[in-house]
Amino acid sequence: MLNFDEKVDLSLDSVLLIYREDEKRDGKRPNRLNRPIMMGQSMVDEATAAGNTTPAITIHEHIVEIVSDSGEGAQKAGQTFGAVSARMGNGVWTVEIIPAEIQPPARSPAGASGIRIRLASKYVTNMGDEADLVVAFNEQVLYSRIANGAYKEGTVVLLESKWRDDPVEEIRAQYAKAVMEFRANGLVVHELPIELACLELTSSPRKGKNMFVLGMLCHIFSRDADTARAQIADTFRRKSDEVIALNIRLFDSGMAFARDHLALHFHIPPHPDQGGRWIVTNGNQAVGLGVMASGMELVSMYPITPATSASHYLADVFHQVGGFVHQAEDEIAAIGFALGASFSGKTACTITSGPGLALKTESLALAVMAEIPLVLAVVQRGGPSTGLPTKVEQGDLLAALYGEPGDAPKVVIAAATIAECLHFVILARRLAEAFRTPVLLLTDANLATGVQPYPRPEPSAEWLAPPVDQSTWDEEVPPYAWDERTGLSPRPIPGMRGGEYVLTGLAHTEQSKVAYDSDSNQRGCNLRSRKLAALAGTLKPPKVHGDESGDLLVVGWGSTVGAIEEAIDRARAQDHKVSSLHLRFLSPMEPGLKEIFGRFRMVMTVEINYSDDPDAPLITDDTRRYAQLAWLLRAHTLVDVDCWSVVYGHPLQPGMIHRVLLKHLDALEAIH
């Protein structure tokens, strides 16, 4: 990680800076260099050079960022680049860098907007550690990325150079100071006249330079130009032919620019073919696809970041499967509307984030009490309160389990991957109906905006909700004909002759009659709780990643699976006896945990939510507050589960977790 406190003396790099200073000042279009300078000859893989002046170097992984002011299209360029790379067979993970404001002030560190794309010759499950290559549309936005530890010594920065000649003296000074600082601290900065080059093709380069940059990246990483052009056409399919043509011209120009002026040229071989067809989506699109594949016909929502893009996607395509997105007047109405549809026999879905979950608690408790199937997807962001709307946190776990006053047992599952965002919605709908309960599906901002290729599901009629049952109800069967062992009961649906009952949020008998007597209330609570035990009985113990026993077991949940397992693999490669397991079911808890934990000397969770650092001021064994999963596991297993968690607002990275593992192993060694 780049650290500005350590002054590294690095002479101004001239290795890859090709653009002639005099031409740039004259404002002329840069000419092709006669002699592109290569990186270390030993690294060149001659076989992959595809007729370009600079042969491509074969590498197996690279992390690229495009960072800009808001509205400069960095994310569109990055998503397109990621999709092209996925089409060419690379493992890909992209994650968006999103400011909270729509149009934050230009050239401000806080306004940094952009995208990170991690490419590899293997399946990629997380954003990785420091970036290798950055394209920056101004120098100021890089400061926030540096503060986030996104770069390292040697990270190559392709920086828009127009600010050097800006009419405003302050901007010129800022730019010069930044470039000097970046270089002094180890970034390899190449100043490039990107906008100037775009001016050849468009009068508004601010809008078009993202495709130019896409062209540059596609050259640098030897992407197939036709695949990229097809992807651009798809990206702009709603726009006119002229717009598509212009963007393709900008792309071509960017490719040529990189070919002519940059000696950066890599080849990342495809990862071994996994067979079958793959799709590339982000996690919110996956949730939307899951809703469609589950046969649910209604999503009732209220706008909230970062959940809403799932509904945007559905609003676009839901009609293809006969579905409808209802934008309600508020979060409470959104879940109320969904509950109405579910009650009427059409199990519905509502999608929200933290503050929306808080507003929905009373309705959620009603769904538990009155046993109404419902799918509630929660795309977690930083909290509490409005918190960090665009940034990731796993802070809603306890709220999901225990947010309601009174005892409200319900199913809570968490997707760990983007593919699971899709499949778990289908699972959630089935569980909700089978167990007559709300099911909370937790995802997070990392999954929501992350993009990854995964096997294309084959939609099945069995995934769809069955038609609404309108047969005659046996009047001998009460509306809550609880099975004394499982708490399960069949559900009368409006339209079923003889099934008439009045659903109520008040304590009730199995006839759904309001009952305030002790026995009825105790019985209702017992049976609603036993449903979870019945479900738990169908689950298998979780699979351990790594050896089944050892020194340290890391337990995680949600979007951190990729980073945790990558860190575990690194530590295991260093002969450390570490393993991990990742929970998908949080309520009921997956079985067998205590037994698995018993096979390790130490168990700890790694999470993105708050916990007290045991070494922090005032913190003692008595006062220390644990991370949320750790809290649950300690209560559930009576094992002294430790934890490490941070609320930086960004996804966990394998390097970070690896360091934590080593520290805990050291501590364990000291005890030994």
Partner 1 sequence: MFGLTADWSHEIFERYFTLGDYAGGEARWCPGCGDHGVLTAVHKVLRDEQVVPEMTVAVSGIGCSSRLPHYMGTFGFHGLHGRALPVACGIKSRRPELDVWVATGDGDCFSIGTAHWIHAIRYNMDMTMMVFDNAIYGLTKAQTSPTSPTGMHTNTHPFGAILDPLDPLTVTLGVTNVSFVAQVVDWSPPLLYEVLKAAHRHKGLGFVRIVQRCPVYANNYVKDLLGHPDRILLLEHENGIPIDNSVARQFRNHRSHDPSDISAATDLARDQSVIPVGLLYHNPNAPCYEELSSRGSDMTVEQKLAGMNAALDTFTI
Dist. CA 494–CA 511, nearest whole Å: 16
Which residue in the set 154, 494, 537, 592 belongs to the binding site for partner 1 (CB under 8 A)? 494
**According to CB under 8 A, which residues from 223 to 242 bind partner 1?**
234
The three-state (H, E, C) secondary structure of 618-663, written as one string = CCCCCCCCCCHHHHHHHHHHCCCCEEEECCCCCCCCHHHHHHHHHH
Instruction: State which residue, 464 or 525, has the beta carbon closest to partner 1.
Output: 464
Dist. CA 73–CA 66, nearest whole Å: 10
Backbone angles phi, psi at 449, to 5 degrees: -105, -10
Site string for partner 1, 58-87 (x = CB under 8 A): -------------------------x--xx
Instruction: State which residue, 148 or 227, has the beta carbon closest to partner 1.
Output: 227
- Window contacting partner 1 (CB under 8 A); options: 338-346, 538-546, 590-598, 615-623: 338-346
Q: Is 209 a binder of partner 1 (CB under 8 A)?
A: no
CA atoms within 13 A on the CB side of 234: 12
Whether residue 175 contacts residue 166, with contact meaning beta carbons closer than 8 Å, is answered with yes
From the list 134, 126, 186, the residue with the least C-alpha distance to 562 is 126
Shortest distance in whole angstroms from residue 127 CB to partner 1: 20
Instruction: State which residue, 216 or 339, has the beta carbon closest to partner 1.
Output: 339
Instruction: State which residue, 117 or 581, has the beta carbon closest to partner 1.
Output: 117
Q: Is 123 a binder of partner 1 (CB under 8 A)?
A: no
Shortest distance in whole angstroms from residue 501 CB to partner 1: 7
Backbone angles phi, psi at 153, to 5 degrees: -60, 130
Instruction: State which residue, 110 or 502, has the beta carbon closest to partner 1.
Output: 502
Q: Is 95 a binder of partner 1 (CB under 8 A)?
A: no
CB-CB neighbours of 548 under 10 Å:
11
Q: Is 37 a binder of partner 1 (CB under 8 A)?
A: no
Shortest distance in whole angstroms from residue 242 CB to partner 1: 23
Shortest distance in whole angstroms from residue 661 CB to partner 1: 34
Whether residue 201 contacts residue 253, with contact meaning beta carbons closer than 8 Å, is answered with yes
Instruction: State which residue, 336 or 558, has the beta carbon closest to partner 1.
Output: 336
From the list 192, 228, 187, the residue with the least C-alpha distance to 209 is 192
Whether residue 398 contacts residue 628, with contact meaning beta carbons closer than 8 Å, is answered with yes
Instruction: State which residue, 338 or 415, has the beta carbon closest to partner 1.
Output: 338
Dist. CA 502–CA 386, nearest whole Å: 37
Instruction: State which residue, 342 or 353, has the beta carbon closest to partner 1.
Output: 342
Report how far apart, in Å, the C-alpha atoms of 174 and of each of 15, 296, 528 are: 25, 54, 63
**According to CB under 8 A, which residues from 463 to 482 bind partner 1?**
464, 468
Q: Is 486 a binder of partner 1 (CB under 8 A)?
A: no
From the list 307, 279, 308, 297, the residue with the least C-alpha distance to 419 is 279
Instruction: State which residue, 244 or 464, has the beta carbon closest to partner 1.
Output: 464
Shortest distance in whole angstroms from residue 453 CB to partner 1: 6
Shortest distance in whole angstroms from residue 74 CB to partner 1: 21
Mapping DSSP to helix (H, G, I), strand (E, B) and coil, where does residue 428 land?
helix
Shortest distance in whole angstroms from residue 119 CB to partner 1: 14
Which residue in the set 67, 112, 146, 298 belongs to the binding site for partner 1 (CB under 8 A)? 298
Q: Is 610 a binder of partner 1 (CB under 8 A)?
A: no
Shortest distance in whole angstroms from residue 495 CB to partner 1: 6
Dist. CA 191–CA 5, nearest whole Å: 24
Which residue in the set 11, 320, 385, 620 belongs to the binding site for partner 1 (CB under 8 A)? 320
Dist. CA 143–CA 108, nearest whole Å: 9
Instruction: State which residue, 67 or 370, has the beta carbon closest to partner 1.
Output: 370
Taking the alpha carbons of 439, 441, 442, 444 in that order, is the dihedral positive or negative?
negative
- Window contacting partner 1 (CB under 8 A); options: 21-29, 47-55, 152-160, 450-458: 450-458
From the list 252, 218, 213, 215, the residue with the least C-alpha distance to 85 is 218
**According to CB under 8 A, which residues from 509 to 568 bind partner 1?**
513-514
Which residue in the set 384, 495, 537, 598 belongs to the binding site for partner 1 (CB under 8 A)? 495
